């Protein structure tokens, strides 16, 4: 035979009840529920402090499980991207002219010689073409694999930063 608990026996957090609340000096919360009954709840923070461990995840730790990428494979991809971008941070022309070395075959990117992107409008056109190859929505439409989405996301972010830098110089 199961014993039913009354409302006063069930611990309830303050934010879960509709009604007026008042906090007593002993840090318990007294809450009036819409049916008129009173609920006294000890400090809600005390209920959870021993039961949970909160850990801040890095951006990489948040995105890798979503993309389904093995951490070892991620390290290899990350090294490849870092090798490509080293010394080129903020240099959109250099990044665009070497983009084919970090992208996969069939990505849709056609190599652009550095001499073809000297002028500002040519840089803008190449940057926009790169975004069409790398944009997450476009990749999803094409059904690209998780490792390629990871590469595209990282390269997309690097190119966006370089584009912001390029525009700040007024080039």
Residue 26 has pLDDT above 90, yes or no: no
Tokens for 147?
A: 């490792």
Residue 2 has pLDDT above 70, yes or no: no
Within this chain, do residues 69 and 19 fall inside the same structural domain, yes or no? no
Indicate the number of domains in the chain: 2
Within this chain, do residues 85 and 142 fall inside the same structural domain, yes or no? yes
Q: pLDDT digit string (tens) for 114-132? A: 999 999 999 999 999 999 9
Residue 9 has pLDDT above 60, yes or no: no
Residue 20 has pLDDT above 70, yes or no: no
Q: For residue 55, what pLDDT band results from cuts at 50, 70 and 90?
A: low
Residue 4 has pLDDT above 50, yes or no: no
pLDDT at 143: 86
Within this chain, do residues 83 and 116 fall inside the same structural domain, yes or no? yes
Domain residues for the domain of 100 are 59-169
Within this chain, do residues 75 and 33 fall inside the same structural domain, yes or no? no
Torsion of CA 19, 23, 24, 27, to 10 degrees: 130
Q: For residue 44, what pLDDT band results from cuts at 50, 70 and 90?
A: low
Contacts of range 153-161, beta carbons closer than 8 Å, 24 or more positions apart: 153/63, 154/77, 154/78, 154/81, 155/81, 155/84, 155/99, 155/102, 155/103, 156/131, 158/81, 158/85, 158/89, 158/95, 159/92, 159/95, 159/96, 159/127, 159/130, 159/131, 159/134, 161/89, 161/90
Within this chain, do residues 11 and 85 fall inside the same structural domain, yes or no? no
CA dist 89 and 165 (Å) reads 9
Q: Residue 133: inside a domain, yes or no?
A: yes
Q: Are 146 and 68 in contact (CB under 8 A)?
A: yes
What is the average pLDDT score of the chain? 76
Residue 43 has pLDDT above 50, yes or no: yes
Q: Are 92 and 165 in contact (CB under 8 A)?
A: yes
Residue 7 has pLDDT above 50, yes or no: no
Q: Burial level of 158, CB count in 10 A (0-12/13-18/19+)?
A: buried
Within this chain, do residues 74 and 26 fall inside the same structural domain, yes or no? no
Within this chain, do residues 129 and 86 fall inside the same structural domain, yes or no? yes
Within this chain, do residues 68 and 134 fall inside the same structural domain, yes or no? yes
Within this chain, do residues 27 and 84 fall inside the same structural domain, yes or no? no
Within this chain, do residues 15 and 84 fall inside the same structural domain, yes or no? no
Within this chain, do residues 152 and 79 fall inside the same structural domain, yes or no? yes
SS3 at position 96: helix
Q: For the chain, how long is the longest CA-to-CA vector?
A: 84
Q: Residue 158: inside a domain, yes or no?
A: yes
Residue 98 has pLDDT above 80, yes or no: yes
């Amino acid at each position: 035979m199961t014993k039913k608990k009354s409302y006063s026996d069930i611990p309830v957090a303050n934010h879960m009840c509709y009604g007026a609340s008042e906090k007593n000096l002993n840090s318990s919360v007294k809450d009036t529920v819409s049916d008129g009954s009173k609920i006294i709840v000890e400090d809600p923070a005390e209920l959870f402090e021993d039961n949970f461990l909160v850990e801040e995840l890095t951006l990489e730790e948040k995105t890798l499980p979503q993309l389904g990428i093995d951490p070892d494979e991620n390290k290899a991809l990350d090294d490849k991207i870092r090798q490509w971008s080293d010394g080129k941070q903020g240099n959109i022309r250099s990044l665009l002219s070497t983009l084919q070395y970090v992208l996969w075959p069939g990505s849709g990117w056609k190599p652009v010689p550095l001499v073809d992107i000297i002028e500002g409008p040519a840089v803008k056109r190449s940057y926009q073409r790169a975004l069409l190859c790398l944009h997450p929505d476009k990749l999803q439409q094409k059904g690209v694999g998780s490792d390629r989405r990871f590469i595209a996301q990282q390269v997309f972010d690097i190119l966006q930063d370089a584009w912001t830098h390029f525009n700040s110089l007024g080039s």
